[in-house]
Chains A and B, each alone.
Chain A
């Protein structure tokens, strides 16, 4: 374990610190609430010489991601950050970054999408990017946002992976609250992330290459998609290995899914991000009342940890999946659909329900989580039948 400094800081400050410590060569960024303080902090670091990056002021997020693609293809280590409408505006270029296999690292402050306009937390923005080919990590706390962001560079640049990685944290809840966190010294982070050695860098004039080529008209487009699938599948063991190494350094646990009370849980909530804390708090109370409650937090959403989720949930009697985003018209929201699909291969069918909660920063109150656990107890006993999907906490 390395020696660390305990500080009080917002999630955004910690993410900016993580990015600074990983020394990207290029930062093309456009500010958007609630990500703004990340890029402000980084701009300040570049201006006052605390980091030596090319900071590119762009005119939109589409340009931010396009610049990131160009700089990464040129051979640079590239980082950026965005949120909500900004991520939505990047959409077509997200696919290009992944398809060109460029290890860009981006932080996203999870925020609702318009309309109506809203600046608060939900996961609609990230979930909209779930099929773009990016590795996607979720942080529960500011500490996890810092840790995930540092790990993101190692994962992205690993020769077996070479994919862009999105490190995310819940807008305002995590990005703007001051939290206690431990940070490593610069030298330890530098050593951990290592030097990025690009293989097909455009600026290497001794080995000229061309990027962004055409693979249509009967060309191997389909084969390149298969390569991408192999790469994101291969990222799972890499994420675990990088996580284990980081845990050793930091003394903090990391897993793609993290359980609380799952060893003997009879009813379980599956959740992503900051709400995991609320869920654990309620689960602790429930256990005092004799309910064997558990919480399973999904920290890496892409690649989806289906095997780990199957293992963690195989013994429970009822499951509630909490989604902070909608998939309008679908059988349920994104996390629910994937968890239920993962559990299809179990011999025993476990009653499962989906709650959509907290859209647009709607408060996730303790009594709402209590209601979920009470519903689960009824489901487990057979008093009620699975009811599909419900909105939690709407009027």
Chain B
């Protein structure tokens, strides 16, 4: 089933499904919640050991993985909770730095490579 809500702003009261029911599943993907974020996760691919703990712990399935590689974040659905940065293990090869850290929205990413922040 596909629930067409493209013109929902024009719907009359009686057009909405009774009692605020959403009559289909799996459509939260269509809702951009990236704007709720005050901090965004930034990942340094040099430091990342691809343990995928971030992918396991992310409560919003916003860690993007291709094959067995963590490739970036889905910034349309990441709400900036910081769980990925918290779980990310420190890497002794880089003086105990973590691959993922949270940076305030609107700030320039520290040493961000253009390709990383652009991924989706």
Provide the bound-state CA to CA distance between A101 and B13, in Å: 15
Which secondary structure dominates chain B's binding surface?
Answer: loop
Q: Could you tell me if A210 and B16 are in contact, using CB atoms closer than 8 angstroms?
A: no
A224-B13, A227-B13, A230-B14 known; A101-B19 Cβ under 8 A: yes
Whole-angstrom distance from the CB of A199 to the nearest CB of chain B?
Answer: 8
Partner of A100, one of B1, B16, B19, B22: B19
Within 8 Å CB of B18, what residues of A? 101, 162, 199-200, 227
B21 within 8 A of A: yes
A223 to B21, CA, bound (A): 13
Flag whether B108 is at the interface (Cβ < 8 A).
no
Please indicate the chain B residues that have their CB under 8 angstroms from the CB of A348 in the complex: none
CB <8 Å contact, B20 and A99? yes
Q: Let me know if B24 and A200 touch, CB within 8 A.
A: no
Using known A-B contacts A208-B25, A220-B11, A223-B11, determine if residue A200 contacts B17 with beta carbons closer than 8 Å.
Answer: yes
Q: Cβ of A102: which chain B residues have Cβ within 8 Å of it?
A: 19
Interfacial chain A residues near B1, Cβ < 8 Å: 207
Is A215 interfacial (CB-CB < 8 Å)? Answer: yes
Q: Confirm or deny: B95 has a beta carbon within 8 angstroms of a beta carbon on chain A.
A: no
Q: Is B23 interfacial (CB-CB < 8 Å)?
A: yes
Interface residues of A in 195-251 (CB under 8 A from B): 199-200, 207-213, 215, 220, 222-224, 226-227, 230
Closest to A221 in B: B20
Contacts of A210 in B (CB 8 A): 21-22, 25
With A224-B13, A226-B13, A227-B13 as contacts: A213 and B20 at CB distance below 8 Å: yes
Most A-side CB within 10 Å, residue of B13, B16, B22, B24:
B13
If the complex has contacts A208-B25, A210-B25, are A220 and B13 also in contact, measured as CB distance less than 8 A? yes
| Chain B residues with CB below 8 A from A99, complex form | 19-20
Among B12, B17, B18, B22, which residue has the most Cβ atoms of chain A within 10 A?
A: B18
Query: In the complex, which of the residues B8, B12, B22 has the most CB atoms of chain A within 10 Å of its own CB atom?
Result: B22
Within the complex, what minimum Cβ distance (angstroms) separates B109 from chain A?
28
In the bound assembly, the distance between CA atoms of A222 and B13 in angstroms comes to 8
Which residue of the partner chain B has the closest CB to A224?
Answer: B20
Q: How far is the CA of A210 from the CA of B19 in the complex (A)?
A: 10
What distance in Å separates the Cβ of B25 from its nearest Cβ neighbour in chain A?
4
How far is the CB of B79 from the nearest CB of chain A, in Å? 14
Smallest distance from the beta carbon of A97 to chain B beta carbons, Å? 10
Residues B1-59 near A (CB distance < 8 A): 1, 8, 11-14, 16-25
Give chain A's interface residues, CB within 8 Å of chain B. 99-102, 162, 199-200, 207-213, 215, 220, 222-224, 226-227, 230
24 pairs, CB–CB < 8 Å, chain A vs chain B: A99-B20, A101-B18, A101-B19, A102-B19, A200-B17, A207-B23, A208-B25, A209-B21, A209-B23, A210-B21, A210-B22, A210-B25, A212-B20, A213-B21, A220-B11, A220-B13, A222-B13, A223-B11, A223-B12, A224-B13, A224-B19, A226-B13, A227-B19, A230-B13
Q: Which residues does B use to contact A, with CB under 8 Å?
A: 1, 8, 11-14, 16-25
A-B CB proximity, top 8 nearest = A101-B19, A208-B25, A223-B13, A226-B13, A100-B19, A210-B22, A200-B21, A213-B20
